[in-house]
A and B are shown apart, each in its own frame.
Chain A
Amino acid sequence: MGTELRLQPKDFKSDQEVRWCPGCGDYAILAAVQGFMPELGLARENIVFVSGIGCSSRFPYYMNTYGMHSIHGRAPAIATGLATSRRDLSVWVVTGDGDALSIGGNHLIHALRRNVNLKILLFNNRIYGLTKGQYSPTSEVGKITKSTPMGSLDAPFNPVSLAIGAEATFVARTVDSDRKHLTDVLRQAAAHPGTALVEIYQNCNIFNDGAFDILKDRRQAEEAVIRLEHGQPIRFGTDHAQGIVRDETTGDLKAVTVTPDNEARVLVHDAHTPSPTTAFALSRLADPDTLHHTPIGVFRSVDRPVYDTQMADQLEQAVEMNGKGDLGALLAGNDTWKVGRSARHPRSTTAARP
């Protein structure tokens, strides 16, 4: 790129009329993403937003970048293909709790374990909004919705726990209305080489209004939200009076009132530690019903070889070993053929039929 790009947030707004319900948390996320995009320093044509199906998946329409409103649950698969074949692009996936965790559950976990260079934004509103209010894979037990008139029987997924369990190298959580925090998490996700999963608590003000109010109300949030910062002791509450310590008997984490006696035991957050154990324990702290003790921020951010880089290396190696190959000849050739080492000797590749 010759000249330095000086794009503004408005450069990332498309000419499409934004069609979410008035008051939807998606507007806040869209504004934060558009506000952050100039920081990437990339031309708009080198940025792609791939979505699946759901309210959140309208996102690519409103971004003045390339984008694809793809198949239900399959955005991670499509984005994987794109990121591996076009490593010059910044590829973002926008999905929701239904799209990513129900029909797309498998695509999500495999993208995470492969560590493809994708940034996955998972809007979690704990409800199916687009279809007008059925319970989702993150809805709490007992939740009464149109499809669970007597209360949901399903134990919900915790997306952060799921991602850590799926070998994700970067896992974070943030909240739609906290512009500063959301932007900071986006910044860290963008800088991470490999798959980044960002769970964004998003208010559906029509079908699940106030689901995250406890994390937003100034007075309540102080007690409910635990802000994770790498290298900092995990303290929260009024005057940081509470802290997270490890239970010496069970190895689990718990919240305690910090005293001079236990202060040294307060856990210092280490997002870069290779072991996922503590990050997972942190992801289990929040009460799934009341959302008390909900950590937000980056749970885990570790380095691991990136899939697209490794795949490109393999392709290069294969070409070095065997030459560029001829796909046309392969397609028009015999029914079977050998791959691998013996392929060095083109004459011996003729298929040996049993």
Chain B
Amino acid sequence: MAYVIAQPCVDVKDRACIDECPVDCIYEGPRKLYIQPDECVDCGACEPVCPVEAIFFEDDVPAEWGAYRTADAEVFAELGSPGGASATGPLAADHPLVAARAAQAA
């Protein structure tokens, strides 16, 4: 279980959640931020600080963004658990779901 970041983050990437996360598990992709599900400790600190309300507990993702329930986990399928976003740096690519989207006005 973990928190996930849904569509409203795409092309916004406010990063307030990154400052708030106590375990440094929110990674930056080219167009969206991603939560590493094995590193997330379910503390919920990120959820209220997101200015576009993009962060949800996995089970509570609204139906319209249902595909985002698993997108964050899928992004880390190959990378695994790098052990901290600040030391790892930005991710090279977005999830196909995000990459396929037309640019979203901020």
For the complex, what is the distance from the CA of A205 to the CA of B48, rounded to whole Å?
14
Q: Are A20 and B43 in contact (CB under 8 A)?
A: yes
B44 near A218 with CB under 8 A, answer no
Take A23-B44, A27-B43, A30-B41 as given contacts and tell me if A203 and B23 are in contact as well, using a CB distance cutoff of 8 Å. no
Question: B20: CB under 8 A from chain A?
Answer: yes
What are 22 A-B residue pairs whose CB atoms fall within 8 Å in the complex?
A20-B43, A22-B43, A22-B44, A22-B47, A22-B48, A23-B20, A23-B22, A23-B43, A23-B44, A24-B22, A27-B22, A28-B22, A28-B41, A30-B41, A176-B22, A177-B22, A177-B23, A177-B24, A179-B23, A205-B22, A205-B45, A218-B86
Is A25 an interface residue, CB under 8 A from the partner? yes
A25 to B24, CA, bound (A): 12
B99 to chain A, nearest CB (A): 29
Is A180's CB under 8 angstroms from B44's CB? no
The docked-state distance in angstroms from the alpha carbon of A27 to that of B1 is 13
Q: What is the bound-complex CA distance between A24 and B43, given in angstroms?
A: 7
Q: Which residues of A contact B47 (CB under 8 A)?
A: 22
B83 at the interface (CB under 8 A from A): yes
Q: Which residues of A contact B45 (CB under 8 A)?
A: 22-23, 205
Q: Tell me, in angstroms, the Cα distance from A18 to B57 when the chains sit together.
A: 13
Asked if B58 is an interface residue, CB under 8 A from chain A, the answer is no
The 5 A-B residue pairs whose C-beta atoms are closest, nearest first, are A23-B45, A27-B43, A22-B44, A31-B41, A27-B41
Given known contacts A179-B83, A180-B83, A218-B86, A203 and B22 CB-to-CB distance under 8 angstroms: yes
Known contacts A177-B22, A179-B23, A205-B22; is A27 also within 8 Å of B42 by CB?
yes
Q: How far is the CB of A181 from chain B (nearest CB, A)?
A: 11
Cβ of A10: which chain B residues have Cβ within 8 Å of it?
1
Q: Is B39 in contact with chain A by the CB < 8 A criterion?
A: yes
Chain A residues closer than 8 Å to B83, beta-carbon distance: 179-180
Evaluate contact between A28 and B24: CB separation under 8 angstroms.
Answer: no
**In the complex, what distance in Å separates the CA atom of A10 from the CA atom of B22?**
21
A270 to B45, CA, bound (A): 40
Which residue of chain B is the closest to A23 with respect to CB atoms? B45
Interface range on chain A (Cβ under 8 Å from partner): 10 to 19
Does B87 have its Cβ within 8 Å of any Cβ on chain A?
yes
From residue B17, how far is it (CB to closest CB) to chain A in Å? 11
Residue of B with least CB distance to A9: B38
Q: Which residues of B sit under 8 angstroms from A179, Cβ to Cβ?
A: 23, 39, 83
Instruction: Find out whether the CB atom of B23 lies under 8 angstroms from the CB atom of A28.
Output: yes
Q: In the assembly, what is the distance between CA of A152 and CA of B48, in Å?
A: 33
User: Chain B contacts of A31 at CB under 8 A?
Assistant: 41-42
A209 to chain B: closest residue by CB? B22
| Contact of A25 with B87 at beta-carbon distance under 8 Å, contacts A31-B41, A31-B42, A179-B39 already known | no
Chain A residues in 8 Å Cβ range of B48: 22
Q: Beyond the given A18-B42, A23-B45, A28-B43, please list 14 additional residue pairs across the A-B interface where CB-CB is below 8 A.
A: A22-B45, A23-B20, A23-B44, A24-B22, A24-B43, A27-B22, A28-B22, A31-B41, A177-B22, A177-B24, A179-B39, A203-B22, A205-B22, A205-B45
Interface residues of A in 180-218 (CB under 8 A from B): 180, 203, 205, 218
- A218 to chain B: closest residue by CB: B86
Contact A218 B41, CB 8 Å, known A28-B22, A179-B23: no
Give complex CA distance A1, B24 in Å: 39
Output the nearest chain B residue to A34 by Cβ-Cβ distance.
B41
- Distance in angstroms between the alpha carbons of A13 and B45 in the assembled complex: 20
Q: How far is the CB of B45 from chain A (nearest CB, A)?
A: 3
- B residues in contact with A27, CB < 8 Å: 22, 41-43
Chain A neighbourhood of B42, CB < 8 A: 18, 27, 31
Give every chain B residue within 8 A of A20 (Cβ-Cβ).
43
Chain A: which residue is nearest B2 at the CB level? Answer: A31
| Beta-carbon nearest neighbor of A29 in chain B | B41
Minimum C-beta distance from A12 to chain B (A)? 13
Residues of B close to A28: CB separation below 8 A: 22-23, 41, 43
